[in-house]
Amino acid sequence: MAKNKNKIICIVQARMGSTRLPGKMMAKIGNKPILQHVIERLALCKHVDEVILATSTNPKDKILVKLAGSMGIKSFAGDEDDVLKRFYDAARKFNADIIVRVPGEEPFIDPGLVDLGIDIHLKSNADYTSTIINRKLIKGLDFEIFTFKTLERINALDKDISSREHVTAYILKNPSIFKMTACDFEKRYWLKDVSLCVDTQEDLEKLRKIYDDLSKKKSFFAAEGIIDYLNS
């Protein structure tokens, strides 16, 4: 675990009620559910003090809480639609100073890149740091980092229900009032028109193939290995 003066918590956002691929968080890649891949990878982050699951109070999501618990991960069940409030309540409950937000549909999230992102965030003293600003990272390895004060601020300011579903939309819509920093990664981490997110059954099958091929050589593979594989 990291030793920072700030408590850095990674909050994984996940629920079972996906429209395009219901129950995808428990769909298996290899012999593990997608959510398990995400949590295991984030647990390798050196700068993260704790990984937390943020899900909803919908009874369907109890299976996710159970999975997280079996891995020694704490959970917070909050509002199903107001995800911004869910994040705020979870961050407050676990006394986070800095939050790393990771979507649950990213089973190949790279802990080394998350640590680099945290370094960038801390050095720049930003309100918000992200891989989606001036994108230089393959889609599906994304994360966002923000201070609790920033989260508290947008929770109070954002009155748009549709916007609150996306947590940080208010920040992106109002860049002039926040100090925003991009994760300026090397070009080798970027592939146009490629996604490693699991949104559809087709995505799931594609990532299963990548995992099956790469895991034959290594039990853990980082972003570079995936990109080399896709370029081969």
Counting every residue, how long is the chain? 232
Q: Is residue 155 part of a domain?
A: yes
In a domain, 3, yes or no: no
Domain for residue 74, yes or no? yes
What's the pLDDT at 4?
52
- pLDDT at residue 2 in the model: 46
> Does 2 map to a domain?
no
Strand order from edge to edge, sheet including 8-13:
74-78, 50-56, 8-13, 98-103, 144-147, 128-130, 180-182
pLDDT for 117 equals: 96
Tell me which residue range forms the domain holding 111. 8-231
Whether residue 12 lies inside any domain: the answer is: yes
Q: Does the residue 104 lie in any domain?
A: yes
153, part of any domain: yes
In a domain, 57, yes or no: yes
- CATH number for position 131: 3.90.550.10
Number of domains in the chain: 1
Q: What region, left, alpha or beta, does residue 100 occupy, with left being phi > 0 and alpha being psi -120 to 50 degrees? A: beta
pLDDT reported for residue 27: 97
What's residue 184's pLDDT? 86
Residues of the chain with pLDDT under 70: 1-4
Q: What is the pLDDT of residues 112-168, one digit of tens each?
A: 999 999 999 999 999 999 999 988 899 999 999 999 999 999 999 999 999 999 999
- Give the per-residue pLDDT at 232: 86
